[in-house]
Structures are given as C-alpha cells and as structure tokens.
Amino acid sequence: MHSYVKTGWLLAAMAIGTTGLTACYESSDVTLYKPGVYKGPKDPLVEKQRSKEQQEALVARFNQVQTDR
C-alpha cells in the first residue's frame, strides 16, 4: 500500500473514533438546591392533596393493602 492510502485510513479511523467519543459526552452542569425547598414547576397534585375527598380516597386505598400490619 502507498503511504497516502495508509494515512487516509488512519485519518478516517481517527475521525470515526473522535466522533464516537463525543457521543458519550455528558454535561457536567450541576444544580444545587436547598433541602426542603421545592423550586420546580407548579405541581397540580399539591392542590388535589388538600381536598378532603382525595385524603379519604388515599386512606381507603392504604387500608386495603395494610390490613396485616
């Protein structure tokens, strides 16, 4: 083989290897939160949890599976 063919294959292998490694890149951004403080989007279940009907439904469901304890 000619040296320029070997060089071409080597460059192609390096390009494929480099591209393959960049696909495994993971962002190192870290978000720090204060414990006990929820700062995410508004959760619709929070309001639902405050209703008496929802609390009764949850207690009934809990009692269905916790009868042996």
**Per-residue pLDDT, 56:** 93
**Per-residue pLDDT, 15:** 80
DSSP string, 4-33: HHHHHHHHHHHHHHHHHHHTT---------
| CA–CA gap between residue 32 and residue 44 (Å, rounded) | 24
**Per-residue pLDDT, 22:** 64
What pTM did the predictor assign?
A: 0.37
DSSP 58: H
**Structural domain spans, the chain:** 3-25+39-65
Amino acid sitting at position 42:
K
pLDDT digits (tens, 9 = 90+) for 12-57: 888 887 776 666 667 677 777 788 877 778 888 888 888 999 999 9
**Per-residue pLDDT, 1:** 53
